[in-house]
Amino acid sequence: MTIQRIEPGPRMSGAVIHGNTVYLSGQTGDGADVQAQARSALAAVDALLTQVGSSKSKILQATIWLRDMADFAAMNTVWEAWIDPANPPTRATGEARLATPDLKFEVIIVAALD
């Protein structure tokens, strides 16, 4: 089976396709609060999934990292409005120090291809 790297860079690729599965790198977003950052990051997920021929209805697994679990409920309102309600993925959410102090949200996605 071949491995296809999407938007490869010196440190990582934006996505990697192996077989009928696509693995997205961690997506972060812009904005002052967790909801703005989540919306922005999830828009980036949509763009990457579209680029590789997939969609949020094909997401198998999501791992979400929050800088502060106090933002859990606020983030969930954005997440629940974004996911395909007929096809919710598995998901885990944890608290972590993210790459920079201003980041409040990061999501890692694994999805199936058509």
Task: State residue 114's pLDDT score.
Answer: 77
3-state secondary structure of 102: coil
Hey, what are 86's tokens? 């007929």
pLDDT tens by residue, the chain, 114 residues: 799 999 999 999 999 999 999 999 999 999 999 999 999 999 999 999 999 999 999 999 999 999 999 999 999 999 999 999 999 999 999 999 999 999 999 999 999 997
Backbone region of residue 108 per phi and psi (left: phi > 0; alpha: psi in -120 to 50; beta: other values):
beta
Q: Which residues neighbour 50 within 8 Å (Cβ) at sequence distance 6 or greater?
A: none
Domain range enclosing 62:
3-112
Query: What is the total count of domains within the chain?
Result: 1
Task: Say which residue the tokens 């790198």 belong to.
Answer: 25
CATH number reported for the structural domain that contains residue 108 in this entry: 3.30.1330.40
Q: What does the pLDDT look like over 52-81, one tens digit per residue?
A: 999 999 999 999 999 999 999 999 999 999
